[in-house]
């Protein structure tokens, strides 16, 4: 009987344990679940506060100013001094368009300038000659006028003497003829003076000079300067420090005026275009410090500063320029926040970081900070470096001093 009693007691204890264990497990599950929910809610609140204090986005890309290189003159490319992706400095000779036609044009313009100078000298000589003829004509007029006056006075004296027969009719006729002849001589001299003055005006007009400036020489000099300018256009130089990109030409190809042959990426100023949600724009201020991470260099931090916040984006859902607007169907309870571009100028970056246009970036805005704060969890970075999960070495495929350029260098 004692053995039976012990067996029954053990059975009751086993039943109690089986009943208690699910209750404990259920209680622990509820506690753990509620704890995880509270922890998640707390984490979400902390993340929301962090995003308000330090807005960030992964929708960001590095950018640089790019210009297309196009010749100002047309012609065959005779010399090509660059290769694709090559770094260049301001003033480096990129390529040369055949200069021979423009050299000939310059020689023609210079020869025309010399001819104009000779013509100007000739016109000045003509002016001097006209001035001399004018002086001579005026003197001749004075001389003829004096003789005409004398002849008229002599005629006036002898005519009354004809009736007293102190003079013969032939003498009177001769005096009258002399007076008429001298009067005609005065008229001729006056006509010669007018012709000399007209020649003088023509010579002055042909000279083309006003206020010590000769229009003929200026026009010829302008043509010389234009020819020199077009000759200089044959030698295309780099407008700034940058990188050659999209080079697909070679020597012998014909270049047309205004047609781009390749492009240059400006390496003096780099910036990041970060697309922030419109809900974050109120927390952004021009001049805020920005912490930038590049996908190619996640172990390095790059410093930037907000230069400007976009004012407009393309409205794909609004009215268009067509007579009838196109309205796409949308669900009123699903609204996506628009993203506006924010321009961030790169101020400083480690020499190990090579900036390339279009690289993926992550940006964190740090309002109220002048410099980047100390890195968080540096031991994680060191651990990743030891595990070779990130490459901490300097790139050797390209020269760092040429590929890494900071603003103002």
Q: Are residues 84 and 138 in the same domain?
A: no
Q: How many domains does the chain have?
A: 2
For 21, counting Cβ atoms within 10 Å of its Cβ (0-12 exposed, 13-18 middle, 19+ buried), the class is: exposed
Task: Give the residue numbers spanning the domain of 222.
Answer: 102-229
Q: What pLDDT digit, counting tens, does each position of 369-393 carry? A: 877 766 665 656 666 666 665 554 4
Q: What pLDDT digit, counting tens, does each position of 107-160 carry? A: 999 999 999 899 888 888 887 888 888 888 888 888 878 887 887 887 777 777
Q: What pLDDT digit, counting tens, does each position of 176-205 carry? A: 888 788 888 888 888 888 888 888 888 878
At which residue do the structure tokens 């050797």 appear?
Answer: 396
Q: Within a domain: residue 221?
A: yes
The half-sphere exposure of 34 on its side-chain side, counting CA atoms within 13 A, is 5
User: In angstroms, rounded to a whole number, what is the distance separating the alpha carbons of residues 280 and 146?
Assistant: 105
**Residue 53 pLDDT greater than 70, yes or no:** no
* 114-140: b (≥16 Cβ within 10 Å) or e: eebeebbeebeebbeebeebbeebbeb
Cβ contact 363:339 at 8 Å = no
Q: Within a domain: residue 145?
A: yes
- Categorise residue 268: left if φ over 0, alpha if ψ from -120 to 50, beta otherwise: alpha
Q: Are residues 154 and 186 in the same domain?
A: yes
Q: Are residues 125 and 212 in the same domain?
A: yes
Q: Are residues 139 and 108 in the same domain?
A: yes
Listed ranges 83-97, 177-191, 205-219; the one with the highest mean pLDDT: 83-97
The rounded percent of the chain whose pLDDT value lies above 90 is 38
């Amino acid at each position: 009987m004692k053995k039976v009693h012990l067996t029954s007691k053990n059975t009751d204890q086993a039943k109690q344990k089986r009943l208690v264990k699910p209750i404990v497990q259920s209680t622990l599950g509820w506690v753990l679940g509620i704890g995880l929910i509270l922890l998640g809610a707390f984490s979400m609140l902390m993340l929301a506060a962090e995003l308000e204090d330090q807005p960030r986005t992964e929708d960001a890309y590095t950018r640089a100013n790019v210009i297309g290189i196009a010749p100002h003159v047309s012609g065959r490319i005779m010399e090509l001094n660059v290769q694709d992706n090559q770094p260049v400095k301001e003033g480096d000779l990129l390529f040369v368009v055949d200069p021979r036609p423009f050299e000939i044009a310059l020689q023609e313009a210079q020869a025309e300038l010399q001819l104009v100078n000779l013509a100007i000298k000739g016109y000045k000589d003509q002016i001097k000659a006209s001035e001399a003829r004018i002086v001579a004509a005026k003197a001749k007029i004075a001389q003829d006028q004096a003789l005409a006056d004398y002849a008229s006075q002599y005629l006036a004296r002898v005519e009354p003497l004809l009736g007293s027969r102190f003079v013969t009719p032939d003498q009177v006729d001769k005096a009258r003829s002399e007076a008429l002849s001298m009067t005609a001589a005065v008229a001729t001299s006056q006509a010669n003076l007018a012709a000399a003055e007209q020649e003088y005006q023509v010579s002055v007009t042909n000279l083309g000079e006003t206020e010590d400036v000769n229009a003929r020489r200026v026009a010829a000099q302008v043509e010389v300067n234009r020819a020199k300018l077009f000759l200089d256009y044959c030698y295309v130089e780099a407008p700034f420090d940058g990188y050659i990109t999209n080079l697909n030409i070679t020597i012998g190809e014909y270049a047309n005026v205004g047609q781009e042959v390749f492009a240059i990426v400006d390496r003096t100023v780099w910036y990041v275009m970060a697309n922030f949600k419109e809900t974050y724009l109120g927390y952004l201020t021009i001049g805020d410090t920005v912490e930038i991470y590049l996908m190619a260099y996640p172990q390095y931090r790059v410093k930037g500063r907000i230069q400007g916040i976009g004012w407009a984006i393309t409205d794909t859902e609004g009215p268009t320029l067509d007579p009838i607007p196109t309205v796409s169907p949308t669900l009123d309870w699903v609204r996506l926040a628009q993203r506006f571009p924010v321009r961030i100028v790169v101020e400083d970056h480690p020499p190990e970081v090579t900036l390339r246009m279009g690289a993926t970036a992550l940006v964190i805005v740090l309002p109220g900070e002048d410099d980047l704060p100390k890195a968080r969890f540096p031991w994680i970075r060191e651990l990743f470096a030891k595990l070779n999960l990130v490459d901490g070495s300097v790139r050797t495929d390209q020269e760092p001093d040429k590929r890494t350029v900071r603003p103002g260098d």
